[in-house]
Chains A and B, each alone.
Chain A
Amino acid sequence: MPSGARPRRAPAAPAYSRQELMVIEAARHLRDGDIVFVGTGLPMLATTLAQRTHAPNVAMVIESGVIAPRVRPTPISVSDPKVMYRAVKLGTLREVLGCLLQRGLIDVGFLGGAQIDRFANINSTLIPRPDGIRRLPGSGGANDMASHCRRLLVITHHEKRRFPERCDYITSPGFLDGPGGRERAGLRADFSVTVVTDLAVMDNDPQTYELRIEGLMPGVTPDDVLAQTGFRPGQAPTVRDVAPPSQEDLRVLREELDPARIYLKAEETASVRR
């Protein structure tokens, strides 16, 4: 883990957005040597940030068949040539989703925003509406990641509608209906979930498997989180304060990884100053 802490009396603590801290905090959850299955967007930013800071030996695997590339900023698709740069192999979907992921060789699966419920089940397929359905893109490799990786990392904005009590449709299995749910379904039980949002970090309670508040973003209170969550999450025995970004994290993120602000939204960067 890198220290996100800066000297207390640093004269010019960096200004940063909540979205930037979300990416930086997610990167901190990657350990050096992890093999990470990742798509594009904020998860890709977090993974490349980890590679360029505290975890240079993180190896990325990308669904289109790309194995261990040195991604060039800033790819916008899993089939963008930028994700293929200096890979050790450009293979097939079967090789990465079958021979690495289902085979059990992936440590961390990284998913972006979606509907996520109390037991960390994820919906990326459809939302029922009174007049029919709202169709979302579908599983892609998400179901495969949630089924086969050991640790699932999710980055999403914290909004009540994104955190329902129960997903309308389970695309990707979290803990299903709670303790024993994964075992009953036939899924690997060796599994944990961490959700990084712009308000908090949530992980699964080791007994109840419900998502609980494990950390709070700077200036955010538990009540703020409860107000934006559709279920009532518990709290870890000690709820930590998420450390603000270091100058170096911000520099790498802004100048190297997303200089054109493709994923880091410009309108959100003017916010928190500490």
Chain B
Amino acid sequence: MVSPPRSRTAEKVMSAAEAVARFVGQGAVLGMGGQNIGRCPMALTHEIIRQRIANLTVVGCNLSISMDQLVGAGLVRRCECGTGNLERFGTTFCWRRGIEAGTLEIEDYSHLAMVSRFLAGEMGIPFMPTRSLLGSDLLEQRTGAAPSAETAEEPRSPKVFVTENPWNPSERVVLVRALQPDVSIVHVQRADPIGNVIIEGFATHEPEMLRASHHVIVSCEELIPTDEIRAHPARTTVPFMHIDAVVVQPYGAYPTSVYGHYDYDADRITAYQDAARAGSPAIDEYLQRHVHDPSTFDDYLRRAADPQRLQTLRAAMREMM
């Protein structure tokens, strides 16, 4: 592990720079929160890029703009996921280019299969059965590398096992392996100083993934007192034992949306997608300008989105509630 065991009831508020330096190591298996254009942990992703933490394996269900920026920065060795895309904004171009060039390893699952892996991981058991994947090519290892590269692949333990239900041998199930990321990053609406986390709105694969992870860094729109957590305990999505670091970062998911707070910024996402589609040097310039040059995420926000723009995104969300 990259750090000593988490001290569970201590205050965990720290800067993104400190949290990433402490908990994200070179070569880590990184659990990625968010989905598509919703609640992607952009502030924490930018910090990983700024610190150039390389050789990552990024895991999640849908991997989108945050993963793609890490790939674009040359920091990702491998992905295990259900999809890479940004829906209406197109695919994840750096991801796609890496897979097609053979520089990025990919292990494909369905979204339920990935959630089942996190579910096994969070419950401390080695695998989980599912009835997805049966009959499909997702059962096989072959999903990314070009056919010509197959011979060069190192032998691996099987991706999944197809077996029978011991109580009813006529029934087949697929066993998928537990997944416990070294560290997961997620952006949420609210957290308290010791790491009780409230996710509002859709929660995707995050509750299972966070509880399965060895370390978790949470960034939040709003820091609330523990008394407020205790006043409404049913609202807590994940309790403090699972969390290592709390980073207070309003707009920490920008340009993706945060339910109840602000809508996504289509122009900014499109600007990133244009650079990602074009590849080098456009993507390098984008990352230099928007990630490396700003000293902090707040500095990035000042450059990328004026206050009036952010207010517009807030108003758009209010109108939808």
Contact = CB atoms under 8 A, between A and B. Distances in A.
A71 to B, nearest CB: 11
A93 B115 contact: yes
B112 interface: yes
A214 B37 CA distance: 38
Contacts of B109: 139
A143 B133 contact: yes
Interface stretch (B21-29, B134-142, B272-280): B134-142
Contacts of A184: 135
Contact of A173 (B111, B136, B162, B207): B136
A250 interface: no
Nearest to A85: B320
Contacts of A176: 135
Nearest to A122: B136
B256 to A, nearest CB: 8
B58 to A, nearest CB: 14
B239 to A, nearest CB: 16
Given A125-B137, A132-B148, A97 B263 contact: no
A219 interface: no
Given A77-B88, A139-B110, A262-B88, A65 B202 contact: yes
A102 B133 CA distance: 11
A8 interface: no
A128 B82 contact: no
B203 interface: yes
Contact of B37 (A77, A97, A101): A77
B15 interface: no
B204 A93 contact: yes
Contact of A101 (B108, B112, B171): B112
Nearest to A139: B110
A193 B7 CA distance: 53
Contacts of A98: 112, 115-116
Given A93-B61, A141-B110, A185 B172 contact: yes
Contacts of B112: 93-94, 97-98, 101-102, 141, 143-144
B253 to A, nearest CB: 11
A167 to B, nearest CB: 8
B205 interface: yes
Interface string A82-116: 10110000111110011001100000000000000
Given A134-B100, A141-B82, A171-B136, 9 more contacts: A64-B36, A132-B148, A133-B99, A136-B91, A139-B83, A147-B135, A147-B136, A169-B137, A182-B135
Interface of B: 34-39, 61-62, 81-89, 91-92, 96, 99-100, 102, 108-113, 115-116, 119, 130-138, 143-144, 146-148, 162, 171-173, 200-208, 256-257, 259, 263-264, 317, 320
20 contacts: A41-B87, A64-B204, A77-B88, A90-B259, A92-B115, A93-B205, A97-B112, A101-B112, A132-B102, A133-B147, A134-B100, A137-B83, A137-B85, A137-B92, A140-B82, A140-B83, A140-B85, A141-B82, A144-B113, A186-B131
